[in-house]
Structure 1
Amino acid sequence: MALHLIKLCVGCGSPEDLEYWIAERLEEKKRRDEPVEQYHVTRMVPKRIEEITGGGSLYWVIQGMVQCRQRVLDIRPFLDGEGIQRCRLVLEPQVIRTEWQPRRPFQGWRYLKPEDVPGDIRAGSDTGDLPDHMRRELTELGLL
């Protein structure tokens, strides 16, 4: 069974912001003739790599709510220029919207068990078509 990660998406106001940022970074890499892959660098290296790369995702907390996810393709530990251990979470560039789930702030990433994972939202569903402000209010009221 796949294990997932959850992380705050700092500086991002919406899944659309995240998609725009990803597209910009991938285009920049293409212009520089670098490998065109999306990754997120983090300080701590997960110990349960095989469980995560075996179908797991990185769930993004945006504005206090889990709102979307990206599938984790690979986890690559490395030493940075100062000799500090870090890792690249190589992610599928596609951002998948999820049901909103409130989360308090935390540092770094956390493991997210399959039973705690919010469901995906399919395009054209009633929930997915709600404006963000309405969706946030209904989620905070416990109606979604």
Structure 2
Amino acid sequence: MAKTVNLIKLSVGTEDVAGLAAWQATARAQTPEGNPRHITRMWPKREAEILNGGSIYWVIKGVILCRQPILRLDAYDSADGIRRCAIVSKPGLILVTPTPKRAFQGWRYLTPEDAPEDVPKGRESEVPLPPGLTKALADIGVR
């Protein structure tokens, strides 16, 4: 049976989950059919595991706050002539239990065992705390 692996990525310049959703709603951040995509320089070597149910987990202001199931990886030819990888995700952001994460460059693999759990049913519509407060609480173990 094939294993599953996720990706984790910093959402640079994003203030909160709503800001990430707003960015993904722009034409620049979408595939021609309207799915959100993130263009990255490196192609994941563990493609089969990612496409076996993996998600991209988004780090916002030092905290993993949400995820999106990955639909596929597309080749993307950028204006500079370099072929890149477009990580195409399912529309919509799934909130996860806020989990602190130190800054890193690019993306990283994230095993299912190390991935934060989804926010429990019924709590998805709660007004999120400000990112700084969420991070401070997560740093001391309050989720």
Distance 2:89 2:128 in 1: 27
Question: In the alignment, what sits opposite 1:101?
Answer: 99
Matched-pair contact (CA < 8 Å) for 1:2–1:55? yes
Q: How far 1:19 sits from its partner (Å)?
A: 1.3
Counterpart of 1:17, as a letter, is G
Quick check: 1:142 aligned with 2:141?
A: yes
Matched-pair contact (CA < 8 Å) for 2:11–2:58? yes
Question: In the alignment, what sits opposite 2:48?
Answer: 50
Q: Give the secondary structure class of the aligned counterpart of 1:45.
A: coil
Normalized against structure 2, the TM-score is what?
0.84
Identity %: 39
Distance 1:29 1:83 in 2: 20
Question: In the alignment, what sits opposite 2:116?
Answer: 118
Q: How far 1:119 sits from its partner (Å)?
A: 0.3
Matched-pair contact (CA < 8 Å) for 2:24–2:37? no
Q: CA RMSD in A?
A: 2.4
Normalized against structure 1, the TM-score is what?
0.84
Q: Give the secondary structure class of the aligned counterpart of 2:117.
A: coil
Stretches of 4+ moved more than 6 A in 1? none
Distance of aligned partners of 1:85 and 1:129 in 2 relative to their CA distance in 1, 3 Å threshold: same
Which has more helix, going by share of residues? Answer: 1
**Superimposed CA distance per residue, residues 49-89 of structure 1 (whole angstroms, 9 cap, x where no aligned partner):** 11101110000000001000111000013443333231100
**Superimposed CA distance per residue, residues 8-30 of structure 1 (whole angstroms, 9 cap, x where no aligned partner):** 0001011111112222338x979
Distance of aligned partners of 1:119 and 1:76 in 2 relative to their CA distance in 1, 3 Å threshold: same
Residues paired across the two proteins, number: 139
Distance of aligned partners of 1:86 and 1:119 in 2 relative to their CA distance in 1, 3 Å threshold: same
Q: How far 1:129 sits from its partner (Å)?
A: 5.2
Please say which structure displays the higher CA radius of gyration: 1
Matched-pair contact (CA < 8 Å) for 1:8–1:105? yes
Distance 1:71 1:138 in 2: 26
Question: In the alignment, what sits opposite 2:25?
Answer: 23
Distance 2:75 2:91 in 1: 20
Q: How far 1:4 sits from its partner (Å)?
A: 0.2
Question: In the alignment, what sits opposite 1:5?
Answer: 7
Distance of aligned partners of 1:29 and 1:49 in 2 relative to their CA distance in 1, 3 Å threshold: closer
Distance 1:142 1:122 in 2: 17
